[in-house]
Chain A
Amino acid sequence: MGPGDRLPTVTLVGADGAPVELGAFLERTLLVVAIRYYG
């Protein structure tokens, strides 16, 4: 996966525990900051 490649459908989990698709956040360009954990 690199620049120009398209991500597959990715399922995440909201803070409320409900599944949410990455696409739900892609109304505009998205800066994704993937950390290890929130602690």
Chain B
Amino acid sequence: MREALPGIRAAGADVLAVGTAAGWQAEALMQGAPDRPPLGFPCVVDPEHNLYRALGLGRVAWYEWATPRLWRNYLGAFRRGARQGEVTGDIHQKPGVAVIDPDRSVRWIHRAVTVGDYPPIATVLAALTPTR
């Protein structure tokens, strides 16, 4: 996401990351580290799941942990260099990505089917581009 930030801002949008927990982890990501630059956008937490509920983001059912797609996503993230840190939040919360306009209307939303199901950045940039 950090790499896509210039394109997102050029499309007239800002970015907000939301996690289910761990303000200290959000702060660390915003601050960066010697081996990791700052994210460049705000990170907040939603321990009460207010935004997740409002966006209709689902929960991971027990049987979904056995699906190949979930583990393919984990493996893909690992190959891209992502490493699991301390688990601090709700592992059953499915993620999602949404474009929200200043009047709080939802312009576009991607609700994850399972863990690690994020849309390609090209899809997100297309959603940010107003249709004429």
Contact = CB atoms under 8 A, between A and B. Distances in A.
Chain A interface category by residue count:
20 to 34
B70 interface: no
Chain A contact residues: over half helix, strand or loop, or mixed? loop
Contacts of A32: 16, 18, 51, 55, 96-100
Instruction: Label chain B's interface by main secondary structure.
Output: mixed
Contacts of A12: 18, 44-46, 50-51
A26 B55 contact: no
Contacts of B56: 1
A22 B51 contact: yes
Contacts of B13: 28-31
Interface centre among B51, B103, B107, by most A CB within 10 Å? B51
28 contacts: A3-B109, A4-B106, A6-B104, A7-B104, A11-B50, A13-B44, A13-B47, A14-B23, A14-B44, A26-B102, A28-B14, A29-B100, A29-B128, A31-B97, A31-B99, A32-B18, A32-B51, A33-B15, A33-B17, A33-B97, A34-B95, A34-B96, A37-B22, A37-B89, A38-B25, A38-B85, A38-B89, A39-B85
